[in-house]
């Protein structure tokens, strides 16, 4: 199996055949993980560059590389890297291409991932470019949805919270256009609606979507995808304070709902901890799926 792209910047590069290949190889990687890993990426090095906070994405990328026998070079924080001295992303990535066989990077600026991919001479993966995209999160969300629901086609998926700055919901919405019969409901405060760069593409692809300001509309869906209000992207503290607790999923609302509840994490107040014990609370299973999905992606990108 081969992917159609050498670098992963946006889910728009992902074809249905790519998505199917990643899902299939992820299932194989779940079995590899049960055995404690293997050594198919022995001798390969991942450069893991995180210029913005991360826990799950970074640890699961690094764990994925190590579970396949590879090794990891890490640079974290703009302050300890040459970006702090004013080095361009392009120069940083050119250097990293000489030190590693594959690169993943998270950076606070939308568009930084494309610049990096253009400069990379080894496979490059976007691990989040500011309020832009987060394609590997969308792939693990897709895998989680299929595992929890048995299928993706024909599902009603509701996304709730900060749809303006939340890169995970941008990528997931666009990735779901590959599947027929998908219906999307976007629930957000008026200030944080899904941006045009996403909705224009949904419209062009004929994927049906509606907007709402009511959490009840999301409780009726097959998948309820909650998100954190992205405090770090607001221009002022007052603007954030106005919307920070706009939607809170309570156990009494989640219990009767048949929706699988997802969240890319970290969560703040938007899901009460009482929801965690419900069978349909899938967010911790979702986070664990990050490892096999990234194992699949790394092995497919390096097998060219």
Using CB under 6 A as the criterion, which residues of the chain lie in contact with ligand NCD when the complex forms?
56-57, 128, 134, 137, 167-168, 228, 264-265
Instruction: Output DSSP code: residue 3.
Output: -
Backbone angles phi, psi at 89, to 5 degrees: -60, -40
115 catalytically annotated: no
What's the min distance (Å) between Cβ of 85 and ligand NCD? 25
What's the min distance (Å) between Cβ of 265 and ligand NCD? 5
227 catalytically annotated: no
Q: Is the Cα torsion angle 139, 145, 146, 147 positive or negative in sign?
A: positive
Q: Are 199 and 226 in contact (CB under 8 A)?
A: no
Length of the chain as a residue count? 304
Closer residue to ligand NCD in complex, CB, 7/228: 228
Closer residue to ligand NCD in complex, CB, 135/264: 264
What's the min distance (Å) between Cβ of 168 and ligand NCD? 5
Closer residue to ligand NCD in complex, CB, 44/167: 167
85 catalytically annotated: yes
Q: Which of 261, 297, 223, 301 is nearest to 28 (CA)?
A: 297
134 catalytically annotated: yes
Closer residue to ligand NCD in complex, CB, 68/265: 265
What's the min distance (Å) between Cβ of 46 and ligand NCD? 17
Closer residue to ligand NCD in complex, CB, 137/299: 137
The C-alpha angle 20, 26, 29, rounded to 5 degrees, equals 150
What's the min distance (Å) between Cβ of 295 and ligand NCD? 17
What's the min distance (Å) between Cβ of 267 and ligand NCD? 8
Task: Report how far apart, in Å, the C-alpha atoms of 270 and of each of 30, 126, 128, 184, 304 are.
Answer: 30, 26, 21, 20, 42
Q: Are 81 and 51 in contact (CB under 8 A)?
A: yes
- Indicate which residue of 40, 56, 94, 110 is catalytic: 56
- Indicate which residue of 7, 26, 57, 177 is catalytic: 57
Closer residue to ligand NCD in complex, CB, 7/107: 107
Q: Which of 157, 152, 105, 158 is nearest to 132 (CA)?
A: 105
Backbone angles phi, psi at 193, to 5 degrees: -75, 160
**Count of Cβ atoms closer than 10 Å to residue 24 Cβ:** 12
The C-alpha angle 228, 115, 293, rounded to 5 degrees, equals 50
Closer residue to ligand NCD in complex, CB, 97/260: 260
Six token digits for residue 194: 């899904």
Beta strand 156-160 with 124-129 is: unpaired
Q: Is the Cα torsion angle 28, 140, 284, 41 positive or negative in sign?
A: positive
- Indicate which residue of 7, 67, 106, 170 is catalytic: 106
Q: Are 200 and 225 in contact (CB under 8 A)?
A: no
- Indicate which residue of 134, 164, 228, 263 is catalytic: 134
- Helices and strands, counts by H and E, the chain: 12, 9
What's the min distance (Å) between Cβ of 137 and ligand NCD? 5
Q: Which residues are catalytic?
A: 56-57, 85, 106, 134
């Amino acid at each position: 199996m081969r992917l159609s792209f050498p670098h992963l910047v946006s889910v728009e590069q992902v074809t249905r055949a790519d998505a199917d290949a990643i899902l299939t190889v992820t299932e194989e990687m779940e079995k590899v993980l049960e055995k404690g890993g293997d050594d198919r990426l022995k001798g390969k090095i991942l450069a893991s560059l995180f210029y913005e906070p991360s826990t799950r994405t970074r640890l699961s990328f690094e764990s994925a590389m190590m579970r396949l026998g590879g090794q990891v070079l890490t640079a974290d924080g703009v302050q300890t890297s040459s970006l702090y001295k004013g080095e361009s992303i392009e120069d940083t990535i050119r250097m990293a291409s000489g030190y590693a066989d594959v690169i993943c990077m998270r950076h606070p600026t939308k568009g930084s991932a494309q610049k990096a991919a253009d400069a990379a001479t080894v496979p490059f993966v976007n691990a989040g470019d500011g309020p832009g995209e987060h394609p590997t999160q969308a792939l693990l969300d897709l895998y989680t949805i299929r595992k929890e629901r048995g299928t993706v086609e024909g599902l009603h998926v509701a996304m709730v919270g900060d749809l303006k700055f939340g890169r995970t919901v941008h990528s997931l919405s666009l990735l779901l256009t590959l599947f027929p019969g998908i219906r999307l409901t976007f629930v957000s405060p008026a200030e944080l609606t899904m941006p045009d760069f996403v909705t224009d593409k949904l419209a062009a692809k004929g994927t049906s979507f509606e907007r709402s300001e009511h959490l009840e509309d999301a409780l009726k869906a097959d998948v309820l995808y909650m998100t954190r209000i992205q405090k770090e992207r607001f221009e002022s503290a007052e603007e954030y304070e106005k919307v920070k607790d706009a939607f809170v999923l309570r156990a009494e609302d989640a219990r009767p709902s048949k929706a699988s509840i997802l969240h890319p994490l970290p969560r703040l107040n938007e899901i009460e901890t009482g929801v965690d014990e419900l069978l349909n609370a899938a967010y911790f299973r979702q986070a664990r799926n990050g490892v096999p999905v990234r194992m699949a992606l790394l092995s497919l990108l390096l097998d060219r």
